[in-house]
Structures are given as C-alpha cells and as structure tokens.
Structure 1
Amino acid sequence: MLKDRDQERQRVFTRRALLLGGAQLGMVGALLGRLYYLQVVEADRYTVLAEDNRINIRLLPPPRGEIVDRFGVPLAINEKNYRVVVVREQARDVPATLERLGRLIDLPEREMRRVLREMKRKRAFVPITVRENLTWEDVSRVEVNAPDLPGVAIEVGLSRFYPYGETLAHVLGYVAAVSESELTGDPLLELPDFRIGKNGVERVYDEYLRGKAGTSQVEVNALGRVIRELSRDEGTPGRRIEITIDTELQRFAMERLGAESAAAVILDVHNGDVLALASTPGFDPNAFNRGLTPKEWEELISNERGPLNNKAISGQYAPGSTFKMVVALAALEAGVITPKQRVFCPGHMELGDTRFHCWKKGGHGHMDMHDGLKHSCDVYFYEIAKRLGIDRVAAMAERLGLGKVLGFDLPGERGGIIPSRAWKQGRMGKSWHQGETLIAGIGQGYVLTTPLQLAVMTARLVNGGIAVNPHLIRRQPGDGLGVPGANLVPELGFPSMGISAEHLRIVREGMSAVMNEPGGTAYRARIAEAGMEMGGKTGTAQVRRISMAERLAGVKKNEDLPWKYRDHALFVGYAPVDQPRYCCAIIVEHGGGGSAVAAPIARDLLIETQKRDPMRGRPIAGLPRQEG
C-alpha cells in the first residue's frame, strides 16, 4: 500500500510539473511574441515616438515688416530688445538675487512679485523675463556685476519701435500683446512675447506685416531641458509697407496744431494721396509696446481732449460755413438761382414765427453767389437752401463725399450725418421741418462731417469734378494690398461726378475771393507769395444754443466761455489757385472763429506743402490749367 501511495504522489507531481512547465513555456512564448511585435513589427512607429519625445519643434517669431513714408523714411522699425532673465535653479536664492538686481536697474516691487509668481508655475530651468527694453547702460551694469548675480543673464530679441513717436501715432497705430479674444488657433499668436497690430496701419495690415514663423528643432532630455539645437529655419520676414504720408510735413502739421484739440488733413486733389493726417493731442505708441502702467492709461482715457481719438477720421463735427459750397453747387445744378441773382440780407430771416440770424448783426445787404461765399452770408444760404429743399442738398453732399464712410485705410473711420426727410423719419419717426433746412444750409443742425470728408469734398470741388477717394497705402502691382492704380491721375483711377465745369468754376472763384479779395472772411490769412496763392472757406460751428435774451444783451465772446462751450473753428482750402494740386481741412475744437484760428493754420500748411513739392511749377500730365 505504501508503494501504491508513492506511485500516486509521483504521478500527481509529474502532472503538476508538466502543467507548470507548460504555463511557463506559454508565458515565455507570449513574451517573446510581444517583444517580436514591438521590436520588429512596430519598430518604425516607436522609433518615431522616441524621436518626437527627444526632439521638439519650436516656433520662431519672424521680424515684423517695416513701414516707411513716401520717401522711404522708416516710420516703424524693429530694434534690438535687451532683456534680463533669471533661471531659478541657477539663482539659488531668487529673492536675494532680485534684490541685488534692483540696485542696478529700475525694478519695481510689482515686477519682483510677478517674477516670483511665474517661477512657481514654471520649471526650475525655464528662464523668466525680469525686465525688457534695457538701455545699453543697464546692460553694462548687469554684465559687470554678473558674478554677484547667479542665474541672471542678458538676452537679445527684437522689439517694435516708432522713431517719430506722437507725430504718427494715429496713423501707424501700435502693437501690443495678444489678448485671449484675439487667439485664432495660430500657434504664433500663443508665443509669450509675440505682438500684433492693435490700431492704425499696424492693425489693418497686421497679417501682411507679420510674416511667417520660422522653426527651431531642438533636442531635449526627459525633463524637457534643451540639450542642443539640431536645425533652424528663420521663416519669412513681414513685408514692407509704404504709405503716402510726408513725414516732415506731418511733423510740421502736428507742431502747428500744437496743444489744441485739433485735426488737419492734407490731400493731393488729383490722386488722393494723404500727405498729412494729424490729430492732437497725440500719444506715445512705444508705451503700448512695452506695456502701459495703470497711471499712464488713466491719464490717457481721462484727458478731455481725447488723445486716443483720431479726430481726422472719427471726429464728427458740424461743418459750419465750410458746407456752403455744397449748397451753392446744388443750387446752381438745380437751377434755383443764377450766379448773379441777388438776395437781400438785413441780418436775419423770418420763417413763420422764428427768426434766423446772420453772423453779421447789421446784415450784408444785397448778395450774389460770389459775394455770398466771399462774405459767408448766412441769410443768402438760408434763402437758397429753402428754395432747394433738404433732399437736393443731401444728394449733392453725398456726391461730394459727405455722410458716408469713404473706405479709408485706417480703422475707426466714421461716416458723419447728412440729413434728409427719409433720414429723419427713419431715425426719429418725425417729419422734416423747413426751418431745419435753413439750419442745414449753413452746415449746422443735424449735419456732421469728419475732417477727412471735408478734405475730400474740397478736392472734388477744385479738381474738375473728379470723384477722388483718399488713400494712405502706396499700392504696387503684386504687393497683395489691393488693386494698384489708386495713386494714378484721375483719367486712370477715378470717375467724373458729371457736374458742370462752369458751376464748379463759380464756386471755386468764390473760395478764391474768401482769401484774395479785400473783405473776404479770411483775407488776412492769405498767401501773399506769387504762384502759391490759396483759395478756401472759413467755418465757425456753434456747440451751444444762443438765446434771444443773450442776443439782446450781447452774445458772449468765446474767450469768456468755458472751453467746452466755445465754437469749433474750421477751414477748408486749396492751392495754388490757378492750378489746384493740394487741399486741406482743419478743425480746432472749441477754438473760436474759423477765420482767426483755423485759416492761419491752413495757410501755413499749404505754404509748407507747396515748398516741399518736388514738381512745383510743373503742370500735371493730362490736367488742363484752370482759370478763375
């Protein structure tokens, strides 16, 4: 029996050993099969994954394209940006290092706190930018003291710089960091130091100026630390943009406007080139690139003169008497009055139980169209506006470029208001009154225009009736900016408005009389130099209602009123008189009388513009010399 039990145990052991051996053999076989699958069948896939884990592709921001003026003068460029960075694992005691660094360069307490916050979120070997835009003196002090600043280093990048600062701030705009709402999925926009255009030309043509990103292929270890750079592609720099502005003329315009809240536009009447587009006060666009302090931002937005507002294209003002040419031309075209037909001005006009006053208390007497423009007689234009009706006035204003967005090359352009019967009914649900036509006839009431529109109006009046449009970008074939030819002569670029040449001559002669005949409202601001004479029209727009009691007691002078209640001073002009080439529009907010304040500015600008014309005295090809 003992022998039988031993044999039974032996058989059980043998079976178990065989089962265990078979299981082990199966596991070894499965392991060998898996190894074969991973190392042979999936070898290519895992090789790629390993390389991806070892090699990183990093984006390199391309240099932003330059912006230059009509003569190639650089206006927006890229400068070397020296910045100081700190690496936590090398610095050891970061707060102490920052404290020592703060004795060498300006390092506010808030910046130190920011650096310490960023270090908690990032790996120890990742450099943290402490301060950008260091001066060469700052860099020198940091480098000299490098042994006492472990973990601190100087890096060099590129930063946008505007050498003319405030002079061209409203034209060029500025660049700043990308906000969350501006992220489009383009990885370039997610780079921490990347800047995009936020206003002006920088914003409108941002993608054109931005270029295409480059790449850097780097080898990293398991922690993500860069071991070495394997390859580098610098990408494609942004493209260069040339604008129509004459920088020196722009600077002259800004200086001439001074500290006033004002705007000026200078335009080539034949090709639409904007030679100057000034708005004061300005601001420093470089401050937006480096980052505004809360104090700087508060000063900008609280300034009642609106330094951030480009008044030349977005400021909407009653045009005052500069609108009278529109009414005169509409009346001539409609045949409601002849140039020699006279209207008597006793100093006021009665309509129902309302009296409408002329600016000259005693009246001008009998006025024809030439005298009406020369003396800017309100009663004369009340009368012809009444004969015309508001709808015909509005139709002519729109033909001359008023009351609509012109499609200019800058953001923020506004269209103004040219009222009509349909406009009032649609906007207010009320009927139009004839008294409102009289007020509109002298450029007041609901009428609103921008300085750019007034410049375009003037250009179309004096260039022979060509519907010129303003532009800021000098386009060339194949540049991707749009259809070339916008800066060609009218026959190749702009259509005729179909207005009688004789009627245009009559209006232009009236504008010449304003400046060049004794008694003209701007005679004292005329250009006396032969060959450079100008024509123009003054405008004074009320911003408050004058009561009858004040009229009886004597209307208060502008200088006796608070600034915001003073009249706006306006002027539109062109030169030279015998062959118009340039025009300008001026607005000085709450400046007072157009003849006393705005006309002298326009005179100085048109003198400077003509002096700077390299083709001065030569007739423009294809354009006849104009008489009158």
Structure 2
Amino acid sequence: MKRTPKDTEASARVVSRRGLILGGGMAAFSAVLTARMRYMQVEQADQFRLLADENRINIRLVPPSRGLIFDRAGVILADNEQNYRVVLVREDAGNVEDVLARLQKIIKLPEEELEKVKEEIDRRSPFVPVTVADRLSWKAFSEIAVNAPALPGVTPEVGQSRIYPLDEDFAHIVGYVGPVSDYDLTEGYLADDDDPLLQIPKFQVGKTGVEAKREHDLRGQAGTRRIEVNAQGRVMRELDRVEGRSGQDIRLTVDSALQNYLQVRLGDESASAVVMNVETGDLLAIGSAPSFDPNKFVRGISVADYRALLEDDHRPLANKSVQGAYPPGSTFKMVTALAALEDGVIEPDEEVYCPGYKELGRRRFHCWKRWGHGDLALVNALEQSCDVYFYDIAERVGIEKITAMARKLGLGIRHDLPVSAVVGGLTPTKAWKRENRDADWLIGDTLNAGIGQGFVLTSPLQLAVMTARIASGRQVEPRLVRSIEAQDEAPAPPPLDINPAHLQFIREGMYSVVNSGSGTARGSRVVAEGLRMAGKTGTSQVRNITAAERARGVTRNEDLPWERRDHALFVSYAPADAPKLACSVVVEHGGGGSLAAAPIARDILLQALYGGTPPLEAYPTSQRGTIRTRQKDLPLRDPSSFTEGRSRA
C-alpha cells in the first residue's frame, strides 16, 4: 500500500529521534571513556608506572664493608676477603625444589646443609635473598653464572668475609664474627637492633671480643641497588646503586709482635698474662693460653673441632686474662700493707714476730715457712712473703679498710674493656657475706683475706691495674681501643689518694722480692742496669690442707694431679727506678709463683722493653745458657707476617 506523505513525515521524525538518542548515548560513552583514559594515563600515571616497575624491578640491600681492626702500629688484625657465594630469592625461583635440584648438579651440597637451606628459605620472607652456599671456588662460581638461565631466582654474588691473619694470637682480644642467629636477635645483644641488615641470612656479626663489643662501629650502613628482572626472575641488569657507609676502622693499643711473644712464651700452659703501660693504661699485650683459630668459626667450625675445644681441660675458649677469677694469694699483700699504713695501725719499721703460725682461738693460721721467719718489718715481710706478718696487720686494720684499699687499686672492679666476659672479681665485706652466705663475718675470714685467700678473687687484668697504680702512683685505667678512625689520646690519669711515702715503702718491698738475697723471686731477676724489675710472687691454694697432712709434711705440687696443684701468680713492673710497664702472669695449677710465673713475666717485660729479643747480658750469668736455648727454640712469627694495613679513613 502506498504511504501517504503524512506517514512518511512521521516515520522520518521517529528515525531522527532514535538517531539523536543513539548518537547522544555514543557521544556520552565516548566522553566517559575519554575521561577515564585521561584519569588513568595522566592523573594515575605514577601509580601505574610504580606497579609496572614492581613487576620488573627489585630493590636489594648492599651489605657494607666491615671496618678493619689494627694494632697500635697499623698491623692488620681483622681483614675482609673476597667471598664467592650463591643466593636464592623464593618469589623469583618459582619451584624451589626444582631449582635446588638443578643447582645440586653444579655444586654438591651435603644433604644436611641442603635441609638447613630449605628451612631458611621457608622461614624468610619470599623477597629476602637466602645464601645457599658461600666460599665457592672460582670454577663453581663461574659454572653457576654460565647456567644462570636455567636457574631462576638464583644469583651468584661476590661478597666479603672476615679473615684473621694472625689467627690464634688475637683470638681472645679481637674475637670473631659469625652468621647472625635467632638468639642474637631475640635474646642476645642485638635484640633491640632494628637494622635491616640483620635480616639478611648469614649476615656476619661480631660474636665475641672487640668484634662483638664494637659491632655498631664496625658494621657500617647498608646501601641499596635496583635490579631489573625478567618474567623468570633472572637478573637482567643493575639500574642504579646507592653505596652504603663502610664500618669504621678501629686501632687497638696492643703490639702484635709482643702479643705473639706473650702467647708463644705461655706455651702449653693454662695461663694468662697482661702487659700495661703504667702512664697511659694502654694494654700492650693481653693473652690467654691455650688459644684457638678464630677463622674456623667464621668458615664454619666442624663438630669434631668444636668438641675438642670444649673438652680441653685447659679451656682454650676462655679469655682467662679478663674472665678468670683467682685468689690473688700473696700478690694481695701490698693491698693489706697499704691499708694498714694508711690507717696508721702499723709503722713501716715496726716488727712482727713470725713463729710459723698465728693462733686465733683454737685454730692455727700457718705461714708458708713452717718454722717461721722470726722478727720482720714491712719491707722484709714483703721480700720473704711472710704470711704471719700480714695475718697480724690484717686483723688490726679490718676487712672493710682492706677492701676499700683493694678497690682504690683497681681490684673488685669490672673495668670497661670491649672484650667478652670481663669479670669484676670479689673484694668481700661483712655486708657481702651476710647477703650472699647468710653468715656473719669472722676474724678468720679477715686473716685469710689479708693474704689473698678466702673469698677474695681477682683477674690477671685487675692485678696488672693494681701493679700499674702502685708503680705510677696514679689512678691508671686499662685501655684497649686506641682510636676509632681518628687518633684518640688518653687523658692523664689523676693521682691516687694514697700517701706517696707509703707507696714508696711498697715499691721497696717489691724491689727486694726480686733483687735481694732472700727475695722469693730472686731467680727471675734482671741484671741489666736501668732495667731491673720489681715484683711480688703469689701462690693460691685450690685445695684444703688438713692437719694430718701438715703433720706428715705438705704434699708437693708436683706430686699432685694437675687440677689439684696451686695456681702460680706474679706481678711486676720495670724499670724499677722509672716504671714504664706493669705485667701480671697467672699460671693455672702451676705450683709456686716464683718458679712458674715469675720467669715468664721477666721474659715478657724484657721483650717489651728491648722491643725484641733481649741480649743475654740482661740475665744472670748462670742462666744464660738456658735462656739462649729458649730464645732459639721459641716458634715466634716471622716479622714479615706483621703486615701493615691502611685505614680507609
């Protein structure tokens, strides 16, 4: 049927209206789409760029170079060496088991070690690199790098590891580093440390000695690097790097050559020795024997080696010079004498009669000389180490003033040194015994304390401090760190609050101990003019001597099992007329101080004063043959091994 013009016009109006509606809708949609695209491309461009970068860019920490440790002359004691290692990032690896299986075909890891690596990977965040193996050979390192495309998430790296060139000589002073442990972070000294470096598996931190006590100085600050990775997690390139701050270098007060001599001279004994500058307090040598190789701990000590160290009755892991606490024996008699002189209860020329014992109630306190010394004044009492003389003056002055004098001389005080397990020793008081033993103080306790027995305990370090203070008349403090980066001069110590005349009497007694005809250490005298030594012997009992044993004769030390023999002690300073150095030596279960400890102290002091092997003329004529043989046989380090390093500062 033919459409009328009216129908055609109406139809055209409908089509136009629909077209407008459809076109308007399309225009609106296009406008919204355009606005959204603009919003995403312009206003949110940074956010989407970041999301894209995170898919292809990783940011990793760059461990800083650990600070170096030097001796006083710049000889390097703790260095860093190149370490080839391989790390794995779980989120980049995909199937970790498969990747480790492929890696096993290149480097053989013990099954036990592999299980530890898997545990570490599971424990750590997916993005944290876990060290799978370190100290690789160049061949193994190269093979891993060549096979990198087949090992997603695996990255060969060149890092640094600690090395101790002088190994055993400084094991107890410098200490060693090891991988950071859960104990370090939760209960150890790093519990409050939030440095992200500590989250890196097997990151090396100080475990003992200066390495631990100066950890924050030595560690440095981490850097960062941005790396581009592909879809398989393989590192494609490094985009940029921000270097961190290397750890600070530390210079100690010790002398490497003297430290080596000290360790060698102590030999196979269970012993310790300390050498101290009496003017500055600088510790020139501080050794404990036997020692151990700290490099084994850095590399991962074997179970057998570690068990051998733990089971050794000479305790090589213990730093006896600061950690050992021993009855000081007769080396304490200078303390008792000074307390009595300062309190005015005795005059230097006042004599005390020694019949071989002192009676107190029903008990006898015996002198080491069974038949006694007769009448003795102060200097001769020190010279011959008469026990009865010091029993008598100790009873008169009392324990409180003896302890006060001991602390004034540096005993019973924990000296602040950056080494592990520094003990405070024990200088007892009446209150101490009530609090710790729930008992009253007895006069017999005072008599025992007066000769350095009973409750009194001191360390070789404290004995060296005491000797330095007596020799110098100043309140010398021990110092092990000479400088951190820059030179640090020690302040002059203040004078001791002790009458100089009284100190001079003590020095005369100590000089007589070594140089008079009846001195207990005459066998260890120095005959070189201007270098004569003053000192005091000591013997501390580790067992009780019964009345029955005294009646039949006290058993000689050499006839007893090693662990039941007396400790041998000797303290000394030289030159006697112008003191420069103080030395203390303790030989565990060594017997008498005059036989075991004094000869070692003399040799160490002469080595220090001469700056090397002393001439035979410094020794008594009758001993020169023995000394010549000893000097020849001592296995000292080659001087060329004392390599001078250079600080990065």
TM-score (norm 1): 0.85
Paired AA for residue 44 in structure 1: D
Partner of 1:172: 174
Q: Does 1:78 align with 2:80?
A: yes
Q: Secondary structure at the match of 1:475?
A: strand
Paired AA for residue 603 in structure 2: D
Partner of 2:562: 563
- 1:108-149 CA-to-partner distances (Å, cap 9, x unmatched) read 443355567778999999997554334xxx535886999999
Partner of 2:335: 326
Paired AA for residue 63 in structure 2: P
Contact 1:382 1:441 in 2 (8 A): yes
Contact 2:222 2:244 in 1 (8 A): yes
Contact 2:106 2:143 in 1 (8 A): no
The 2-side partners of 1:299 and 1:34 are apart by 74
1:561 deviation in Å? 2.0
Contact 1:572 1:583 in 2 (8 A): yes
- 1:183-228 CA-to-partner distances (Å, cap 9, x unmatched) read 6332222223421112111112111111222221222345543221
Partner of 1:266: 275
Judged with a 3 Å threshold, the aligned counterparts in structure 2 of structure 1 residues 139 and 45 are, in CA distance, closer, same or farther, namely: closer
1:538 deviation in Å? 0.5
Partner of 2:589: 590
Partner of 1:466: 474
The 2-side partners of 1:236 and 1:123 are apart by 25
| Correspondences of 1:187-586 after superposition (within 5 Å) | 187-463=196-472, 465-475=473-483, 479=486, 484-486=488-490, 488=491, 493-586=492-585
Contact 1:346 1:365 in 2 (8 A): yes
Contact 1:139 1:154 in 2 (8 A): no
Q: Secondary structure at the match of 1:355?
A: strand
The 2-side partners of 1:446 and 1:307 are apart by 26
Q: Secondary structure at the match of 1:574?
A: strand
Contact 2:68 2:250 in 1 (8 A): yes
1:24 deviation in Å? 7.7
The 2-side partners of 1:218 and 1:96 are apart by 24
Paired AA for residue 135 in structure 2: N
Judged with a 3 Å threshold, the aligned counterparts in structure 2 of structure 1 residues 112 and 545 are, in CA distance, closer, same or farther, namely: same
Contact 1:345 1:364 in 2 (8 A): yes
1:44 deviation in Å? 3.2
Judged with a 3 Å threshold, the aligned counterparts in structure 2 of structure 1 residues 24 and 304 are, in CA distance, closer, same or farther, namely: farther
Contact 2:106 2:140 in 1 (8 A): no
Paired AA for residue 588 in structure 1: V
1:259 deviation in Å? 1.8
Partner of 1:162: 164
Paired AA for residue 76 in structure 1: A
Q: Secondary structure at the match of 1:339?
A: coil
Judged with a 3 Å threshold, the aligned counterparts in structure 2 of structure 1 residues 530 and 594 are, in CA distance, closer, same or farther, namely: same
- 1:474-528 CA-to-partner distances (Å, cap 9, x unmatched) read 137x85x9xx442x5xxxx211112111111110011011111111111111122
1:170 deviation in Å? 0.8
Judged with a 3 Å threshold, the aligned counterparts in structure 2 of structure 1 residues 99 and 413 are, in CA distance, closer, same or farther, namely: same
For structure 2, the 5+ residue unaligned runs are 1-12, 614-649
Q: Does 1:133 align with 2:132?
A: no
1:556 deviation in Å? 1.5
1:592 deviation in Å? 0.9
Paired AA for residue 470 in structure 1: P
Contact 2:276 2:283 in 1 (8 A): yes
Judged with a 3 Å threshold, the aligned counterparts in structure 2 of structure 1 residues 44 and 440 are, in CA distance, closer, same or farther, namely: same
The 2-side partners of 1:212 and 1:371 are apart by 60
Judged with a 3 Å threshold, the aligned counterparts in structure 2 of structure 1 residues 119 and 315 are, in CA distance, closer, same or farther, namely: closer
| Correspondences of 1:26-37 after superposition (within 5 Å) | 30-37=32-39
The 1-side partners of 2:100 and 2:221 are apart by 37
Paired AA for residue 217 in structure 1: R
The 1-side partners of 2:143 and 2:348 are apart by 81
Q: Which of 50, 56, 66 is the equivalent residue of 1:54?
A: 56
Judged with a 3 Å threshold, the aligned counterparts in structure 2 of structure 1 residues 19 and 568 are, in CA distance, closer, same or farther, namely: farther
1:531 deviation in Å? 2.2
Q: Secondary structure at the match of 2:298?
A: helix
Contact 2:331 2:570 in 1 (8 A): yes
Moved more, 507-516 or 151-160: 151-160
Judged with a 3 Å threshold, the aligned counterparts in structure 2 of structure 1 residues 31 and 85 are, in CA distance, closer, same or farther, namely: closer
Moved more, 381-390 or 116-125: 116-125
Between the two proteins, the alignment pairs up a number of residues equal to 594
Q: Secondary structure at the match of 2:482?
A: coil
TM-score (norm 2): 0.83
Partner of 1:185: 194
Contact 1:125 1:225 in 2 (8 A): no
Overall identity of the aligned pairs, in %: 50
Judged with a 3 Å threshold, the aligned counterparts in structure 2 of structure 1 residues 230 and 445 are, in CA distance, closer, same or farther, namely: same
Contact 2:272 2:320 in 1 (8 A): yes
Contact 2:525 2:602 in 1 (8 A): yes
For structure 1, the 5+ residue unaligned runs are 1-10, 615-628
The 2-side partners of 1:297 and 1:13 are apart by 96
Judged with a 3 Å threshold, the aligned counterparts in structure 2 of structure 1 residues 444 and 97 are, in CA distance, closer, same or farther, namely: same
Contact 1:91 1:97 in 2 (8 A): no
Q: Secondary structure at the match of 1:474?
A: strand
Judged with a 3 Å threshold, the aligned counterparts in structure 2 of structure 1 residues 70 and 235 are, in CA distance, closer, same or farther, namely: same
Judged with a 3 Å threshold, the aligned counterparts in structure 2 of structure 1 residues 154 and 146 are, in CA distance, closer, same or farther, namely: closer
The 1-side partners of 2:461 and 2:583 are apart by 9
1:349 deviation in Å? 0.6
Judged with a 3 Å threshold, the aligned counterparts in structure 2 of structure 1 residues 550 and 90 are, in CA distance, closer, same or farther, namely: closer
The 2-side partners of 1:236 and 1:142 are apart by 27
Structural RMSD (CA): 3.7
Contact 1:348 1:363 in 2 (8 A): yes
The 1-side partners of 2:100 and 2:338 are apart by 75
1:96 deviation in Å? 7.8
Contact 1:101 1:142 in 2 (8 A): no
- 1:301-354 CA-to-partner distances (Å, cap 9, x unmatched) read 333322222111111110000000111111111111111111111111101111
Judged with a 3 Å threshold, the aligned counterparts in structure 2 of structure 1 residues 613 and 502 are, in CA distance, closer, same or farther, namely: farther
The 1-side partners of 2:226 and 2:42 are apart by 28
The 1-side partners of 2:146 and 2:319 are apart by 50
1:99 deviation in Å? 5.9
Judged with a 3 Å threshold, the aligned counterparts in structure 2 of structure 1 residues 33 and 95 are, in CA distance, closer, same or farther, namely: closer
Contact 2:513 2:522 in 1 (8 A): yes
Q: Secondary structure at the match of 1:56?
A: strand
